[in-house]
Structure 1
Amino acid sequence: MTDQSTLRARKEQLTERRLELMARMSFVDQELSSPGSPDWEENAVEHEEDETLNALGQSAQAELRMIAAALARLEQGEYGFCTICGAEISAARLDLLPATPFCKRCAR
């Protein structure tokens, strides 16, 4: 994983995804902070939606942590190598999961 243009492209991809997730979290925060409906039936539906929004927010936070770690590995020259065994992570795997810290074998 020494090709600089590939590393720049991965960094751009990770950075763009981070911006998307931050926008999603902002939307989730706005929705969760909006006042509930005074109608109890509508309020029940909104409560269910809030649970879904919370799950989306938690998922986004987890992915943001993975992206931050991947960007740090990029800066340290360790990106693209498994954090467990040190093997190179395949380009195909990084195409699917650009923030992954594990090779296919260690991810099992």
Structure 2
Amino acid sequence: MNAIQHPKARLLARLKELDGRLHAVEAELEEPHSKDWDDMAIEREGDEVLEGLGEAGAQEILRIRAALQRLRDGTFGECVRCGEQISAARLEVLPDTPYCKNCAA
């Protein structure tokens, strides 16, 4: 397996996982709410948490799609800010990162 296939497989797997999670969040948010005020308040708090998770997931999907585009362009692993190589260790932990350690700081 070459160096490009490994991050691509990880990114695609994570994209699939996030897609499933976001569909579950959407389904949960579409559930009807209770008529009881106390229950409705608790459900609304839960909805706010789900909305936050959905937004975070959507942002991660955007980062993954951008990383996949960099793979297609042949620029994956290059910092988009300074052009230096992103360390393999950093890409192992954050495969969708567009920045080297210095530029991310």
Q: Does 1:9 find its partner at 2:6? A: yes
- Which residue is equivalent to 2:98? 101
- Please state whether the residue corresponding to 1:14 is helix, strand or coil: helix
Q: CA deviation at 1:74?
A: 0.1
- How far apart, CA to CA, are the structure 1 residues paired with 2:6 and 2:85? 18
Flag as ranges the 4+ runs of structure 1 deviating above 6 A: none
Measure how far apart 1:6 and its partner are: 1.7
* Distance of 1:10 and 1:21 partners within structure 2: 16
Report 1:35-46 matches (<5 A).
35-46=32-43
Q: What's 1:78 paired with? A: 75
How many residues align? The count is 105
Corresponding residue for residue 48 of structure 1: 45
- In structure 2, what is the Cα distance between the partners aligned to 1:51 and 1:86? 39
Residue identity opposite 2:78 in structure 1 = F
AA aligned opposite 1:31:
E
Indicate which of 18, 24, 28 corresponds to 2:25.
28
RMSD over equivalenced CA pairs, Å: 0.8
Match of 1:68 among 65, 68, 84: 65
In 1, the alpha carbon distance for the partners of 2:21 and 2:50 equals 10
Q: Distance in 1 between matches of 2:41 and 2:83?
A: 50
Tell me how far 1:38 sits from its aligned partner: 1.2
Q: Which amino acid aligns with 2:49?
A: T
Q: Gaps (5+ residues) in structure 1?
A: none
Identity in percent? 45
Give the TM-score normalised by the residue count of structure 2: 0.98
- In structure 2, what is the Cα distance between the partners aligned to 1:33 and 1:68? 27
